[in-house]
């Protein structure tokens, strides 16, 4: 199984809502990632988890809160978002190793719209 799944596919939320994005992989990867991608732009790294511990936070606002409950699951909790947070949120996973030589496998993304 070389698939990364993400739910939901689409999410519309108000600025006062609390919602969560979910990501799952069963490839035994110990690195998992959240990216944010605006239209016609490349993905921007938000968070990296290695062995279920947060290893990188790219100065992401606290209204985004990641969680890695186990080695297969990655969540992104959303609260008090702004309209400019509307984007495609991509999850990825890879083996963990130095030099970033490992292929990252991406999920299809969650299209988030904040009203």
The residues of the shown chain that bind another protein, judged by CB under 8 A, are 4, 6, 31, 33, 40-43, 45, 48, 50, 55-56, 88, 90, 92, 94, 96-109, 111
| Secondary structure of the chain as H, E, C letters | CCCEEEECCEEEECCCCEEEEEEEECCCCCEEEEEEECCCCCCEEEEEEECCEEEEECCCCCCEEEEEEECCEEEEEEECCCHHHCEEEEEEEECCCHHHCCCCEECCCEEEEEC
Q: Which one, 70 or 100, has the nearer CB to another protein?
A: 100
Q: Which one, 2 or 16, has the nearer CB to another protein?
A: 2
Q: Which one, 18 or 41, has the nearer CB to another protein?
A: 41
Q: Cα separation of 71 and 61, whole Å? A: 24
Q: Which one, 56 or 115, has the nearer CB to another protein?
A: 56
Nearest approach, Cβ of residue 4 and another protein (Å): 7
Nearest approach, Cβ of residue 65 and another protein (Å): 21
Nearest approach, Cβ of residue 93 and another protein (Å): 11
């Amino acid at each position: 199984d070389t698939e990364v799944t993400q739910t939901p596919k689409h999410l519309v939320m108000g600025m006062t809502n609390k919602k969560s994005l979910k990501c799952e992989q069963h490839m035994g990867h110990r690195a998992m990632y959240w990216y944010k991608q605006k239209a016609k732009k490349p993905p921007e790294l938000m968070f990296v988890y290695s062995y279920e511990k947060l290893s990188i936070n790219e100065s992401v606002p606290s209204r985004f809160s990641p969680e890695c409950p186990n080695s297969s699951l990655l969540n992104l909790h959303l609260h008090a978002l702004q309209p400019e947070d509307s984007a495609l949120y991509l999850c990825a996973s890879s083996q963990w190793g130095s030099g970033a030589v490992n292929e990252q496998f991406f999920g299809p993304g969650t299209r988030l719209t904040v009203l």
